[in-house]
Amino acid sequence: MRVATELSCKREVILFAYRTPNADELNVWREQDGRLSLYLRSSSEAVHFQVPQFGALETHLCVTWDSSSGATALFLDGRRSLTKIYKMGHRVQSGGRVILGQDLDSYWGSFEAKQSFVGEISDVNMWDSVLPDSTIQRMSSGNREPRGNVFEWEAIQFEIHGGATVLNREL
Ligand code: CA
Ligand code: CA
């Protein structure tokens, strides 16, 4: 995804939520202390990464997680983080919905204004396998790499809630 925000780190902010009826399956947060986190399956235990802060300039963010090894890494503008081991052998369940910039605590609702994202999110894609580093790097510099095979940004049918606006832009 591409993300730009001027929200300061005075509170936690959700960037991406995928929820099934029973659980938060896959969430990406920016924590109050500025770390980026991946949470799988409603766990209170996340994997955290200490990274430079987002600002008004767009940042390309990619989170990779490999179920078989648990290897988890972040890419910010194509730069790779260290790898951490998280939830080895876990499976992300199907049948849920994705919501950008808000956190569901039930299916479908229980939002808290103080967790909402303010800014711009775009070009969100998801794959069911880990992409090569070089593909992520090319994507971060604007190359039209293969789009997400779980979902791709251009094919998403948006449902708009609250103060969100969809803007069309040539990439
Ligand atoms: Ca919440
Ligand atoms: Ca939640």
C-alpha–C-alpha distance, residues 145 and 60, integer Å: 14
Q: How confident is the model at residue 106 (pLDDT cuts 50, 70, 90)?
A: confident
**So what's the architecture of 2-155 in CATH?**
Sandwich (2.60)
CA of 115 to the centre of ligand 2 (A): 10
CA of 55 to the centre of ligand 2 (A): 25
Q: Which residues have a Cβ under 8 Å from the Cβ of 130 and sit 6 or more positions away? A: 64, 65, 66, 71
Domain range list for the chain: 2-155
- Tell me the per-residue pLDDT of 12-33, one tens digit each, with 9 for 90 and over: 999 999 999 989 999 999 999 9
- Tell me the per-residue pLDDT of 114-146, one tens digit each, with 9 for 90 and over: 999 999 999 999 999 999 999 999 999 989 888
CA of 21 to the centre of ligand 2 (A): 11
Q: Which residues have a Cβ under 8 Å from the Cβ of 135 and sit 6 or more positions away? A: 145, 146
CA of 148 to the centre of ligand 1 (A): 27
* Nearest-ligand number for the alpha carbon of 22: 2
Q: Which of 56, 42, 43, 48 is nearest to 12 (CA)?
A: 48
Token duo for residue 12: 């936690």
CA of 29 to the centre of ligand 1 (A): 11
CA of 14 to the centre of ligand 2 (A): 9
Token duo for residue 158: 């948006």
The pTM of the full predicted model, rounded to 2 decimals, is: 0.94
Q: How confident is the model at residue 171 (pLDDT cuts 50, 70, 90)?
A: low
Judge whether 36 and 49 are in contact, CB under 8 Å.
yes
C-alpha–C-alpha distance, residues 74 and 80, integer Å: 6
CA of 144 to the centre of ligand 2 (A): 32
